[in-house]
A = this chain, B = another copy of it.
């Protein structure tokens, strides 16, 4: 698992794009970058407090309505420095993520096991749909392949699509080899 508290740098990166509230950060983990990292609000709010205590971000209060006070966070120059250090540092290459389904297949030794067909079909349905969803996103956000701006966003979407496509192809290939 992550060891060097990656979360703090992701938050710095997101805040460096634009000032956000904890709530908005939480949503960001469910959309764009959700394909490659996730975090709950229960992890985000304490991390924001630590980053602020550390002088890497500051918040300004924003009142809406009568009472509601939300904290909008922005990176300080110290935060930008920390972010740049992270970006510049060598990156430990991703080693195979955990895949419960792959393990189940590993433990089913026979290509004629009666459970295989159903298992493969179920996963294939899911990943095929996900793939379609990602491609729709790509078409919506980069209609004319104009990804010179927001290059990073384009790259992660492309990454996710390739990953899901490869997954579906693996499942397909496995299905075809059932005895």
Interface residues of chain A, those whose CB is within 8 Å of chain B, are 1-2, 6, 9-10, 13, 16-17, 32-38, 83, 86-88, 90-111, 115, 119, 122-123, 126-127, 130, 147-153, 155-156, 158-160, 162-163, 165-167, 169-170, 173-174, 177, 179
Contacts and interface: CB of A to CB of B under 8 A. Distances in A.
A72 B92 CA distance: 35
Given A98-B2, A122-B90, A105 B155 contact: yes
B156 A105 contact: yes
Contacts of A94: 97-102, 167
B83 A107 contact: yes
Copies, count: 2
Contacts of A105: 152, 155-156
17 contacts: A6-B98, A13-B106, A13-B107, A16-B107, A36-B102, A37-B99, A93-B126, A96-B160, A96-B163, A102-B155, A105-B155, A109-B150, A109-B152, A147-B177, A158-B173, A158-B174, A166-B166
Nearest to A169: B162
Complex A-B, nearest 6 residue pairs according to Cβ-Cβ distance, in ascending order: A97-B97, A13-B107, A166-B166, A35-B96, A106-B152, A93-B126
Nearest to A126: B93
Question: What is the predominant secondary structure among interface residues of chain A facing chain B?
Answer: helix
Contacts of A38: 95, 98
